[in-house]
A and B are shown apart, each in its own frame.
Chain A
Amino acid sequence: MQLNTVIRKVHTYTGLQASIALFFFSVSIISASIESKTEPVISHQKFQGSTNLENIELAKIVHNQVGLRFEMPPEWWMVSEEEAGNVLIKYLSPSARREVRLNKNNGDIEISSWPLSAAELFNHLHKESIGRRRASDSLWLWLWSIYIEVSIFSLFVLPATGLYMWISAKASRSRWAKPSLLVSSLAMGALWHLIR
């Protein structure tokens, strides 16, 4: 099999595999522009244990006590301390957007849960990755993470193989192609320069 045929097949099958993810990524970008004003559903619990621990340890105990489905045990990037001294755990899963707050002074746990709209669901799903999920946390989320991981890989393979086909004259020779790439590169360069 010739190299060009191999490249074309890689491009085609990678594209077919990634098509749903690319659609997800597109909708995620658009849905990020839609602000949601949903009110959270709030519930309370009492913390069982001592609050004289590191925030990450407290967060893990709170997580085990509260038992939220599809949520992974807290990692350091999910835990922060608010000015009032509360430990805040921010969760990110396709079930809902959740924040769990532990008041270290009185042991009150506040669980805020925002149900996700379809747009938000797309946005959340595209953020999963095996770098953040373990199979032991949630098998289904981990399975989805694998798909996203493969799709991220496709973001490199598709342009690379597509460019190869274009440059090696195996794709269309439209006279608009070069100006399109040039204008787009210039626009991105200008925006990069302005923002940076």
Chain B
Amino acid sequence: MYKLVRNIHLISSLIILPFLFIYAISSVFFAHHFLDFFSISEPERNVTQFQLDPLPSTAKEISAILSESHDIRGHLQNHSVNDRGEMSLTISRAGTQYKVLVNTSSGLVTSEEETASTPGFLAELHNTAGFSNKSSEETWWGASIIIVAILLIFAVVSGFVLWAYRSQERRSGLIFLGASLAYCFCVIGVLRFS
């Protein structure tokens, strides 16, 4: 039984390790604003122009073609048509945003790509969870993160069991855990119910 739990702890921890590393670093960026000069440094900008022929009629179709043929990948955040008949689209994924202007009469597309710095990307990746309003890559990331969350629970529970096997550390561990639990529940209780 001990060996099984130890293997569960080891394997679940190793699976989540690369993701945990990303989350640990990005949480430091989130937690401390003195690091903002890394994450909000000027993003890289890249402007490209090309022709779309034939030009699809809806923003969703244009976004799909841009993704397939021009590597402008991401979630279509919003779109609008201005007085001159130009359609503007905002397509984004974690760390990258495209502002696309489509001339609906000539089919000329102007795309301005903004790419965040690596810390900025990490911070946005930290927020990419769940399945709503995301590009397919981000949906995959969201799904992976949910698996990581479940495995993290496995790692925590199996860690508890492994600790419980160590009789010489049981008492001191209980005091440590008890103090930690008391601290948490006391503070959360006040924050939530007072």
Contact = CB atoms under 8 A, between A and B. Distances in A.
Interface in B1-34: 3, 6-7, 9-11, 13-24, 27-28, 30-34
A70 B145 CA distance: 30
Interface string B142-175: 1011101110110110011001001001000100
Contacts of B177: 16-17, 19
Contact of B137 (A141, A174, A176, A191): A191
A29 B95 contact: no
A147 B190 contact: no
Contacts of B159: 15, 19
Interface in A132-160: 132, 140-141, 143-144, 147-149, 152, 155-156, 159
Nearest to B173: A16
B14 A29 contact: no
A140 B146 contact: no
B190 A140 contact: yes
A109 interface: no
Interface in A1-48: 9, 12-13, 15-17, 19-20, 22-23, 25-27, 29-30, 32-35
A156 B26 CA distance: 12
Main secondary structure of the interface of B (DSSP, over half): helix
Interface in B104-124: 121
A70 B18 CA distance: 35
B140 A191 contact: yes
Nearest to A154: B24
B95 A184 contact: no
Contacts of A32: 129-130
A77 B177 CA distance: 35
A122 to B, nearest CB: 10
A27 B138 CA distance: 19
B58 interface: no
A195 B24 CA distance: 19
B31 A17 contact: no
A94 B144 contact: no
Interface stretch (B47-55, B59-67, B82-90, B180-188): B180-188
A140 B190 CA distance: 7
B132 interface: yes
Contacts of B10: 166, 171-172, 174, 177
Nearest to B36: A77
A20 B178 CA distance: 11
A33 B129 contact: yes
B31 A149 contact: yes
B2 to A, nearest CB: 10
Contacts of A19: 156, 159-160, 177, 180
24 contacts: A13-B173, A15-B159, A16-B176, A19-B177, A19-B180, A25-B23, A25-B152, A26-B153, A27-B149, A94-B188, A127-B30, A130-B31, A141-B191, A144-B191, A149-B31, A172-B7, A174-B10, A174-B11, A176-B11, A180-B11, A181-B17, A185-B17, A188-B22, A189-B18
Q: Which 7 A-B pairs have the closest CB atoms?
A: A129-B31, A33-B130, A155-B24, A131-B32, A29-B149, A32-B129, A188-B18
Interface of B: 3, 6-7, 9-11, 13-24, 27-28, 30-34, 93-96, 121, 125, 128-132, 137-138, 140-142, 144-146, 148-150, 152-153, 155-156, 159-160, 163, 166, 169, 173, 176-177, 180-181, 183-184, 187-188, 190-192
Given A20-B180, A30-B149, A33-B129, 6 more contacts: A35-B130, A172-B3, A184-B17, A185-B17, A191-B140, A191-B144
